[in-house]
Amino acid sequence: MRKFVLEILDLLSEGLRLGRGYLGGEMSSNPTMFVNYYPPCPDPTLTLGLRQHCDGSLITILFQDVNGLQILKDGQWIAAHPIDDALLINFGYVFEVVSNGKLKASEHRVVTNTKVPRQSLTYLAYPQNDVIIEPAKCLINEANPPHYRSMKFEDFKRKHNSVLSNKEEIMKYMSLNKPE
Ligand SMILES: O=C(O)CCC(=O)C(=O)O
Ligand SMILES: [Fe+2]
């Protein structure tokens, strides 16, 4: 899995002109895996499988077997259907910060269904706890000022966990105006 993730991260590093290897080291070498199980729900209008959120990772690789994942795009929830033999990649807040907002963390949620249980497997590529996350220096110049502040990843993660997916709170925390 790590080898696959490194290939993806190298391509993303190159695409953003960060230089090969920029994202592949301590920015992503502290991963966590989860297996999620969503039982069928007699009335899916009453509850979500997982509420709206963005991941606190650099990127998240996701395998899903049954419909349910939705991505927020231009104010609309779009179903991200499972595709045979395909993995889905979500950008997390760390990617948003490092890319200085060129790529935004994707907001997603999971809806339930009445018939079949759903399972998903996520691999969240997190930085090491003591890594400083900030907009990559090579993306910053006079015409492109930083939009996010520098944060120790462990502090960011604590905040992310404590505000339970409240995007407004997290954006405020990551913004340049937050006092150190
Ligand atoms: O189950 C899914 O499809 C999504 C899981 C997810 O978003 C998460 O674990 O952060
Ligand atoms: Fe997620």
| pLDDT (mean) for 142-164 | 95
The pLDDT confidence band at residue 179, using thresholds 50, 70 and 90, is: low
> For atom 3 of ligand 1, which residue has the closest CA?
69
Looking at residues 48-58, what average pLDDT do you find? 96
Q: What is the three-class DSSP state of 48?
A: strand
Alpha helix positions (H), the chain? 2-15, 93-98, 153-162, 167-174
CA angle 32, 38, 40 (to 5 degrees): 175
Distance CA 160, CA 172 (A): 11
24-35 tens-digit pLDDT: 999 999 999 999
Rounded distance from Cα 143 to ligand 2 centre (Å)? 33
Residue 166's H or E segment, with its range, is none
Tell me how far the alpha carbon of residue 14 lies from the centroid of ligand 2, in angstroms.
25
Which pLDDT tens digit goes with each residue over 65-107? 999 999 999 999 999 999 999 999 999 999 999 999 999 999 9
Q: What is the pLDDT of residue 165?
A: 82
Atom of ligand 1 nearest to the CA of 80: 3
Residue tagged 């900030």 (tokens)? 134
Cα-to-centroid distance, 108 and ligand 2 (Å): 6
Do residues 148 and 175 make contact, with C-beta atoms less than 8 angstroms apart?
A: yes
Determine the pLDDT at residue 164: 83
